[in-house]
Amino acid sequence: MNHHPPSHVGRALTVVLGVLPFVAVTLLVFKDWPPLRRWDESVADRVAEHGLSHEGWVDLWQLLGTVILPWTVRAVVLVVAIYLWHRRARLLTIWLLVTVGAELALVQAVIHTFDRPAPEQALVEVDSWSYVSGHSTAAFVMAGALGVVLPSVRGWRRRFRLLVTLPAIAVVLLVSFDRVALNLQYVSDVIGGWALGLAILTATTIGFGLRPGLRRRRRRPKTEDDGTTVPPRAAVIVNPIKVGDGVAFRRKVARALAVRGYDDPLWLETREDDAGNAMAKQAIENDSDLVLVAGGDGTVRVVCAALASTGIPVGVIPAGTGNLLARNLHIPLDLDDALERILEGRDRRIDLVRVHGDGLDTDHFAVMAGLGLDAAIITGAPPILKAQIGWTAYLVSAARNINHPSVKVRISLDDEEPVERRVRTVVIGNVGMLQANIPLLPDARPDDGLIDVVVIAPRRVTQWPLVFWRVMTRTKRTEMYLERFTGRKVEVTAAVDVQRQLDGDGIGPGRSLTAEVEPGSLVVRVPKRR
């Protein structure tokens, strides 16, 4: 599934083309176009004549109509949405719910706007207007929604997709024929329902930046000196603890690479004693053209540090609790969407930040480092809770640490005079967004060659709501409990030992952190610009 239509003009044109059939059918119906009116009346007369002489026929279609109601097909979509939410395909889940909500609202709006009476010779009693067919619209939206979802999220083989898609199309036809067979609606009502369903699906898919189908474009293979072609190679570094269904994950990644002309990938799993350093070095030795890393922020950090200055692109597949680098690079959290955006994406150079401190070997981070409360929150979040409820486990830890004591620190930026503050936390960032799109460092960019620093120092618990408000509104004003700094090198020294973290991993207590930017040292694979 692609999430990057070619242009705003193209998006708008696609929406117009999707809505146009419904507009055309509606105008023909209510302008009383003679050929369409004669067709409606002719079919209605023949259906009425046949139904009056075949009561069993009417009973059969009436039974079908009571089973396949609009709410039945909407329930099917709701079940799919619940499944997608469970699989962390949040964007598709919201899209499905919005699409169903739009279908329900627009059908009612159209019915009450046009007030078209049902055929006079209806074979069963009905107390509703005729245009449009709500049954046909709901069924069409269900089939179309599955057509958008199945090719990408499930990653099923074609025959398995057909096992679901074909019955969905059959339901559309049966529901629509049922409306006509019982003479409850005209043929044009059913066609109008299909057209309305098409308009809704087009508008919502374009509005959410979705486009069904997997482009099977193969990359041009490399050519050796002797003229032989060599397909590109990829290495996949996986944290098996973070990736739940390893077999399904491996199948999807291998398939996504294969359809783009990659050779069989090199599979490397992290270990308890190595979060990815040795695996990244093995990927380098294998002359990999791309390294995909699936794990938490800690795994991503280690792999990125090992690949710094090699020029090998890194594609981050979100699989952890925070997934902060992926979020800041606009990589979707759903596996299939992430693979599509990465493998069809572009290479971008971003900065890494070299860091050291007391009791620490020189290391690197790509997202954020912290000292004080934020590190205490990260350290205090129970792993079991993170596995069960994801990043919201940090909110539980934050509530427990709300009274974390302040500490006196000295902050030095570049060659400027040091400043002293009593703070709750100091965060050093290469990027700015936290989970839930919280803009902790709104001016931070991963490729600007700068480090952004935020100092948070509320004196009382009652000041935290104001701090949160200042963060969410991206205020530029400097206040005693919220300050921001920018530079290329920062040194933070605390008066006492406090907790510290790198990219969401606790690194133990200490008194100092020194960070210096390494501009453009890492190549990452990111989604193409829209």
Q: Is the pLDDT of residue 183 over 70?
A: yes
Strand ranges inside 314-406, DSSP E: 314-318, 346-357, 360-365, 368-372
Structure token digits, residue 455: 């100092």
Alpha helical stretches, state H, 3-69: 8-30, 34-53, 55-67
For 64-86, give the DSSP string: HHHHS-HHHHHHHHHHHHHHHHH
- Long-range Cβ contact pairs of 44-51 (< 8 A, separation 24 or more): 44/119, 44/121, 44/183, 44/186, 45/121, 47/121, 47/123, 47/180, 47/181, 47/182, 47/183, 48/119, 48/121, 48/123, 48/183, 51/123, 51/181, 51/182, 51/183
pLDDT at 482: 87
pLDDT at 209: 66
CB 453 within 8 A of CB 427: yes
pLDDT at 333: 85
In order of 158, 166, 194, 249, 484, the CA distances from 173 in angstroms are 22, 11, 10, 36, 61
Give the pLDDT band (50/70/90) at residue 280. very high
Kindly list the structural domains of the chain, giving each domain's residue range(s) and its CATH number in brackets, ordered by start. Answer: 8-207 (no CATH), 222-351 (3.40.50.10330), 360-518 (2.60.200.40)
pLDDT at 49: 76
pLDDT at 478: 67
pLDDT at 2: 38
pLDDT tens-place string over residues 28-52 = 988 888 888 888 888 888 877 776 6
Q: Is the pLDDT of residue 429 over 70?
A: yes
For 121-184, give the DSSP string: T-SS---S--SS-HHHHHHHHHHHHHHHHIIIII---HHHHHHHHHHHHHHHHHHHHHHHHTTS
pLDDT at 305: 92
Contacts with 527 (C-beta within 8 Å, 6 or more apart), sequence order:
3, 4, 329, 330, 331, 341, 342, 344, 345, 346
CB 516 within 8 A of CB 441: no
How far apart are the C-alpha atoms of 450 and 350, rounded to whole Å? 11
pLDDT tens-place string over residues 297-341 = 889 999 999 999 889 999 999 887 778 899 999 998 888 888 999
How far apart are the C-alpha atoms of 108 and 132, rounded to whole Å? 9
pLDDT at 5: 37
User: In terms of pLDDT, which residue wins out, 129 or 499?
Assistant: 499
Give the pLDDT band (50/70/90) at residue 218. very low
Q: Is the pLDDT of residue 84 over 80?
A: no
Q: Is the pLDDT of residue 524 over 90?
A: yes
Contacts with 48 (C-beta within 8 Å, 6 or more apart), sequence order:
119, 121, 123, 183
Give the pLDDT band (50/70/90) at residue 214. very low
Q: Is the pLDDT of residue 221 over 90?
A: no
Q: Is the pLDDT of residue 92 over 70?
A: yes
Q: Is the pLDDT of residue 157 over 70?
A: no
Q: Is the pLDDT of residue 1 over 50?
A: no
Contacts with 233 (C-beta within 8 Å, 6 or more apart), sequence order:
262, 263, 265, 266, 286, 287, 288, 289, 290
Q: Is the pLDDT of residue 213 over 70?
A: no
Q: Is the pLDDT of residue 476 over 90?
A: no
Burial class (CB in 10 A: 0-12, 13-18, 19+), 223: exposed
pLDDT at 126: 66
The residue-averaged pLDDT of 443-451 equals: 90
Give the pLDDT band (50/70/90) at residue 8. low
CB 153 within 8 A of CB 336: yes
Contacts with 525 (C-beta within 8 Å, 6 or more apart), sequence order:
290, 313, 314, 315, 342, 343, 345, 346, 347, 348
Q: Is the pLDDT of residue 107 over 50?
A: yes
pLDDT at 388: 61
Q: Is the pLDDT of residue 199 over 70?
A: yes
pLDDT at 77: 80
DSSP-based three-state secondary structure for 455: strand
pLDDT at 364: 92
pLDDT at 89: 66
The residue-averaged pLDDT of 475-497 equals: 86
Q: Is the pLDDT of residue 95 over 90?
A: no
The residue-averaged pLDDT of 400-427 equals: 89
In order of 69, 101, 108, 131, 137, the CA distances from 105 in angstroms are 16, 6, 5, 14, 11
Q: Is the pLDDT of residue 182 over 60?
A: yes
Strands 451-456 and 482-487: antiparallel
How far apart are the C-alpha atoms of 13 and 33, rounded to whole Å? 27
Give the pLDDT band (50/70/90) at residue 164. confident
User: In terms of pLDDT, which residue wins out, 358 or 145?
Assistant: 358
pLDDT tens-place string over residues 346-400 = 999 999 999 999 988 889 999 999 998 888 887 777 666 666 656 666 677 777 7
Give the pLDDT band (50/70/90) at residue 57. low
pLDDT tens-place string over residues 113-122 = 888 887 877 6
CB 349 within 8 A of CB 520: yes
- How far is the first Cα of the chain from the last one, in angstroms, to the nearest whole number? 14
CB 70 within 8 A of CB 209: no
pLDDT at 522: 93
Give the pLDDT band (50/70/90) at residue 154. very low
Burial class (CB in 10 A: 0-12, 13-18, 19+), 164: middle
The residue-averaged pLDDT of 193-215 equals: 77
Q: Is the pLDDT of residue 150 over 70?
A: no
In order of 424, 431, 479, the CA distances from 471 in angstroms are 15, 15, 12
The residue-averaged pLDDT of 250-262 equals: 90
